[in-house]
Amino acid sequence: MRYAKPVELLAPAGSMESLNAALRFGANAVYLGGPFLQLRAGQTAFSIPQIAQAADSCHARGARLYVAANAFTFPEELERMGEYARELSAVGADAMIVSDTGAIRVVKRACPGMEVHVSTQANCTNHETARAYYEMGARRVVLARELSIKQIRLLRQNTPPELEIEAFVHGAMCMAYSGRCMISAYLTGRSANRGGCAQSCRWKFALTEEKRPGEYFPIEEDPDGDTILSSYDLCALPVLDELTDAGVTSLKIEGRMKTPYYVAGAVNAYRMYLDGGEYAGSMSELHAISHRPYSTGFYKGEIKNSIHAPAGYFKDCDYIGPVLDRQNGRIIVQVKNKLVSGARIEALTPGRPGVGFTACDMQNEAGEAIETAAVPDTLFTLPAPEGIEAGDFIRKRISPSD
């Protein structure tokens, strides 16, 4: 272990597959959204029975489960919030992530035993606010993303040691202050603060002149338009030691809309580093998954004069597909992207960098030899080194010629 005190690695789950990937690759806790007041699109919502299943899966591996109910709460929803807290407690959720102070009061009154974590949406930027939440019954505060490490250290020094401190370490960054954005609501009628964000800040923008409709003028020279509001992705691995030294006890990865492969890759990278692995190896794993350019955000001070992130993503590897099973020295892979026999590939497995081997002797489901696996969601098999099992993922390094 790298640190004397235990540090929680907290992973996102937008599906049961992502939750299983997070647990397999080393998350100490998982957070997800349920059927009420979550801040992600409806397709990522778990039903109450699914939350019960998720809680069982987490507890079987010694991990914890947190349910986000951090949308802005309106008067008619407060009674339901109390009922929801009791439902979540009954199916084994370990904590609720809440942003509204009234909702915190309702949850603690309706279900005193439910642990409350104050969401980053609540915009906690100082120790007096953190103490106020603690006195209201909160067990944990998820810090505003705009704090520097120096400010986090000061906050930690002036709050009760029983109050847990959580901070984001990886994933997409919202251009608005603590996620309080009205752009999506204004442009599309979908409120980011109620779980309907259309990610309008990632759109390409250009100027038009009143008397020349249809003629667009880039704000900066850019052949693809201009994503002037699009932020870099957060990657706090370069400052992780400083964050934990400042008093952060839970390291949160963003990404409930991400794939199980992404979740596995991000969790694996941070898990390896936390367990004493080398920085370069973990950083290489983070570059393997799809991402915008990385930044340490506000942790080393306020971001100034930062170039906007481009519209596209970067990655060092193409995702081939998940490993569904292993039989007689062969793995069964579900096709997500094309693979040609003879290609050099890697297996993403827990606790280590990618395991390289060559794709050969590929067979379809009927056992017939094939040179290419390309039809989405079909299955194929190929021989693989020992240690590559169900729940792992196959990828291929992108060469300059690709």
130-153 pLDDT, tens digit per residue, is: 999 999 999 999 999 989 999 999
Q: Which residues on adjacent β-strands are paired with residue 120?
A: none
Mean pLDDT of all residues in 122-129: 95
Structural domains of the chain, with CATH: 8-173+231-295 (3.20.20.70), 177-217 (no CATH), 317-397 (2.40.30.10)
Quickly state the pLDDT bin for 208 (edges 50, 70, 90): confident
> Is residue 355 over pLDDT 60?
yes
Tokens encoding 97: 């992530």
Confidence of residue 339 (pLDDT cuts 50, 70, 90): very high
Which two structure tokens, joined as six digits, stand for 125? 């930027």
Residue 196 pLDDT: 58
For 386, residues 6+ apart whose C-beta sits below 8 A from its C-beta are none
What does the pLDDT read at residue 221?
43
Residue 216: strand, helix, or coil: strand
Q: CB burial class (10 A; 0-12, 13-18, 19+) of residue 225? A: middle
Q: In what order do the strands lie in the sheet with 317-327?
A: 355-358, 344-348, 393-397, 317-327, 330-334, 379-383, 363-364
pLDDT band at 399; cut points 50, 70, 90? confident
Tell me how many degrees the CA angle 262-267-272 measures, rounded to the nearest 5.
130
Q: What is the pLDDT of residues 262-287, one digit of tens each?
A: 999 999 999 999 999 999 999 999 99
Q: Distance (Å, rounded) from C-alpha 31 to C-alpha 177?
A: 22
Digit-coded pLDDT (tens) for 70-112:
888 889 989 999 999 999 999 999 999 999 899 999 999 999 9
User: Which run of H or of E encompasses 65?
Assistant: strand 64-68
Tokens of 173: 């960054």
| Cα R_g (the chain), whole angstroms | 22
Which of the four pLDDT bands, split at 50, 70 and 90, describes residue 292?
confident
Q: In 3D, which of 83, 118, 76 has the Cα closest to residue 101?
A: 118
- Amino acid 55 reads A
For 330, list phi and psi in degrees, rounded to 5: -115, 145
Name the least confident of 18-22, 69-73, 224-228, 392-396. Answer: 224-228
Q: Please give the mean pLDDT across all residues of the chain.
A: 88
Q: Is the pTM of this model over 0.85?
A: yes
